[in-house]
Amino acid sequence: MRRFGLAALLLGSVVACAPVEKPPEPLAPGAGRLSLTPTAFGQLAGWSEDAAAQVLPALKRSCDRITRLPVDRSIGFDGVGGTAADWYSPCSAAARVPDGDHGAARAMFEAWFSPWQVSDQDKADGLFTGYFEPEIRGSRVRQGRFTTPIHGKPSDLVTVDLSKFRPDLPGEQLVGRLEGSKLVPYPARAEIEAGAIDTKAPVVAWTDDPVDFAIMQIQGSGRVRLDDGSVIRLGVAGSNGHKFLGIGKILKDEGKLGTDTSMPAIRAWLKANGAQARGLMARNPRYIFYGLNQGDGPLGTEGVALTPERSLAVDPRFIPLGSPVWVETTDPKGRPLRRLMMAQDTGAAIKGPVRGDIFWGAGEAAFDMAGRMKSTGRLTLLLPKARSPRMAAYP
């Protein structure tokens, strides 16, 4: 779906003196270095109190994807998650758990998965932020106050999946447009908003609020409540390939924010400062293009619908997409947040082994939680007990 993070001290512990898996080589300078230390479910603070069955719909969506893969397909970079075949039995067991039976769900995980404490070299603490699914006002046609276009994917946009040539760069893309035989950078946000692609990109809808639209672009996917009362859901169809520059950083550098740098405070300042806000927002060169999403929720990078408060965006260079993870952190209200989630999404700002972005759902309540989420925490990766030796990421 995403994304860029909007943002607890952990109480859990790991087995002392346990062996540490040999991590893959760093993928880039400063990218981090994954270490996995075996632990036990009894060592996970709050494990027996979590409503574990609530994660099963998200797990089943990921299982449906994984079990359609070739049996020898590696799961995760460097095969850290074993092969697709290793997931068949755990996924089958998950499908047999009765709805709402939290005890049976915990027993299933304990029977079929092994927990591994995630560290960046020897650092177990990391950052947890949040994101949500925005809803903005819109119209199918340009009329009245609806003058800001929501562009679909341009006809001249060229995207090259670098992972086909560099398996060590999962999800990385080269984006631009062709000039002769040369791929050149695609226009930046300011150029697009000035009309640079009007003849190349369809308009899927028009909105009356450039601030809320900019926030939707930060989050990725979103919903548009049309002036006829209907609602359409939009998913990310591509981007212009430019590096993301957060509006919070822009406002902070300009001295526009006080001590409150949360997304709700940023939105309030932008809406109160009209033309000045539009100029500052245009400094973020990244632009997202949209297409209609007919699914029952926003789609994450894994290609499955996200589940509120149970889906997590991670760095796929370290955490395999589709794997269960135990998160221990605190929510924006200072309450312990300890629960099972599914690694189902990624984000441009989600980098490193111990880094997570929690999907809070849709609406203002989700926006408030996501916009203020910025907590320290830890991550435990659950992998099938019967796990094949590591293989190349793309056999």
**In the beta sheet, which residues pair with residue 376?**
127
Q: 117 with 14: CB under 8 angstroms?
A: yes
H-state helical runs in the chain: 56-66, 85-95, 102-112, 189-193, 210-219, 247-253, 263-272, 274-281, 364-372
Write down the pLDDT at residue 26: 41
Write down the pLDDT at residue 62: 96
What is the tens place of the pLDDT at every residue in 77-105? 888 999 999 999 999 999 999 999 999 99
Write down the pLDDT at residue 262: 85
Q: Which residues contact 175 (CB under 8 A, 6 or more apart)?
A: 157, 158, 159, 160, 186, 238, 239, 240, 241
Question: Percent helix, strand, coil in the chain (nearest 5)?
Answer: 25, 30, 45
Of 342, 336, 344, 348, residue with least CA distance to 376 = 336
**In the beta sheet, which residues pair with residue 247?**
none
Write down the pLDDT at residue 14: 27
pLDDT < 70 stretches in the chain: 1-31, 163-171, 391-395
Write down the pLDDT at residue 22: 39
Please indicate, yes or no, whether the overall pTM of this predicted structure exceeds 0.85.
no
- The domains located in the chain, with CATH, are 34-130+308-360+377-384 (2.40.40.10), 132-292 (2.40.240.50)
Write down the pLDDT at residue 173: 76
Of 297, 287, 153, 146, residue with least CA distance to 223 = 297
Pairing of strands 374-384, 113-120: antiparallel
Q: 67 with 91: CB under 8 angstroms?
A: yes
Task: Pull the structure tokens for residue 250.
Answer: 């822009």
What is the tens place of the pLDDT at every residue in 160-205? 877 666 655 556 778 889 999 899 999 999 999 999 999 999 999 9
Write down the pLDDT at residue 163: 65
